[in-house]
Structure 1
């Protein structure tokens, strides 16, 4: 299944460059966490400060709630998420306390 999510970055060119550098070589624990929870592919695209993530999952293995709970309980994943929040900002439509927000599909060809 494909999931599209949105998140913003803080409007600071130095922070954006640092964020992109982290994503050129993500921590092995982050990669393993994603794969363990059924993420088969992931891309993040940026325009200005807006980012869109395409996450492809194996529905037999992917459970978003279980993935979130595992992330909360894993010190290394928590450390990554806390570090990323240095660069990230919620979109105007992001619910309080959340980060990446699921986008509504509106057109298919």
Structure 2
């Protein structure tokens, strides 16, 4: 089984109290248990979100046979996932570079070490 990876970015509303609250929601204590379970159920193998300042960077690993667009659509049909997305939207700002309909902007790879090691 092969794995694919995609990376995405967006910004948080640049207010320290909102950034702190967003971080709490993503902590072990603040995360709703249905969220990681739903992400996995939709076909995502791993998801990581990193922050610097108000910029978020998300890494998504998924099975090569999984269509990531379909996986995100599946998540969007799960009751708690929809509620979570609505809540998180209060903290987030889509990047100007995002395509129409994109919330998290897909990033293009610039350098992949393994491609240079063959």
Bigger Cα Rg:
2
Matched residue count: 108
Taking structure 1 as the reference length, the TM-score comes to 0.89
Q: Can you give the 5+ residue segments of structure 1 that lack an aligned partner in the other structure?
A: none
Instruction: Select the residue among 24, 31, 53 that pairs with 2:36.
Output: 31
Gaps of 5+ in 2: 114-118
Kept in 2, the 8 Å contact 1:37–1:63? The answer is no
Please give the root-mean-square deviation of Cα atoms over the aligned residues, in Å: 1.4
Distance 1:47 1:41 in 2: 20
Tell me the CA shift for residue 28 of structure 1: 1.7
1:19-98 alignment, distance < 5 Å = 19-25=22-28, 26-60=31-65, 62-98=66-102
In the superposition, the TM-score normalised over structure 2's length comes to: 0.83
Q: Distance in 2 between matches of 1:83 and 1:13?
A: 17
Moved over 3 A (4+): none
